[in-house]
Amino acid sequence: GAGVSQSPSNKVTEKGKDVELRCDPISGHTALYWYRQSLGQGLEFLIYFQGNSAPDKSGLPSDRFSAERTGGSVSTLTIQRTQQEDSAVYLCASSHRVGPQETQYFGPGTRLLVL
C-alpha cells in the first residue's frame, strides 16, 4: 500500500519568505508527527497530532512555525519569515497504535534550503 508522502521533495527559498510543506499520511493512521533533521543533528520533534485532540506543539522552535491537519488526514507545516537556520530536512511520520505499541512510518522528507 501507499506510504507517507511529502511534497515538495526539495524547496529552495529566500530568507524572509514563507514556505508550506505538505504531508499525506498513510490512510487510517490517526497520529501524525513532524520532525526535522539538520545537518549533523539528530531528528528533532516539532509537532504531533493525535486524532481530534489538540496538537502537541511543544517542539516548535519559534512562533514562526505552525502546522495544521485538515480532516484528520493531510497536514501542512508552515514556516513564516524563513531564516537560514531553518534549513533542514523536514520529515513527517504517521502511525497506528495497537494497544500500547506504536509504529511510526516516515515519509521521504522535504529538503528545505533557505538562502
3-state secondary structure of 104: strand
The neighbouring-strand residues paired with 65 are 79
Smallest separation, CB 36 to other proteins (Å): 11
Residues 45-64 that bind other proteins (CB under 8 A): 45, 48, 50, 56, 59
Smallest separation, CB 18 to other proteins (Å): 24
Euclidean distance between CA atoms 109 and 71, whole angstroms: 22
Cα→Cα distances 107→59, 64, 76, Å: 19, 23, 14
Give the residue with the Cβ less far from other proteins, 1 or 42: 42
Sole window of 11-19, 40-48, 64-72, 76-84 interacting with other proteins (rule: CB under 8 A)? 40-48
